Amino acid sequence: MKASRCGQLAGTHAACSIAAFRLPFFRGNILEQNVARTAASVGEALVAGAIFTLPAFLIARVNGVPVWETFDYWSSTWIMLVGGVLGVLFVILLRRTLCEDADLPFPESAACAELVEKVFERTERIDLLVNNAGISAGGAIWELEPDVFARVTRTHIDGTYNCTRHAVPHMREAGWGRIVNLVSRSGLIGIPGTAAYGTGKGGIFGFTNVVSRDLAPFGITVNGVNPASTDTRMVGEAIEKGRRAGGEMARRAESLNALLQQPEDVAVMIAALCSEEASAITGQFFFVRGTEIGVFRPLALADTTSRDTPWSAEALAHALCALEIPPLDSPY
Would you name the residues annotated as active-site residues? 197
Calpha distance 137→141 (Å, rounded):
11
Burial label for 138, CB within 10 Å (0-12, 13-18, 19+), is buried
Closest CA to 29 of 122, 114, 120: 114
42, exposed or middle or buried, with CB in 10 Å at 0-12, 13-18, 19+?
middle
Ordered DSSP codes for 27-52: -S-HHHHHHHHHHHHHHHHHHHHHHH
Q: Is 260 helix (H, G, I), strand (E, B) or coil?
A: coil
8 A C-beta contact, residue 222 and residue 252? no
Give the span between the Cα atoms of 206 and 188, in whole angstroms.
10
Task: Tell me the sheet residues that pair with 293.
Answer: 288
At residue 283's C-alpha, the angle toward residues 280 and 289, to 5°, is 95
328 residue type, one letter: L
Sign of CA dihedral 109, 112, 117, 118: positive
Helices (H), the chain: 2-22, 30-59, 73-86, 88-98, 107-123, 146-153, 159-174, 185, 195-215, 233-245, 247-258, 263-273, 313-322
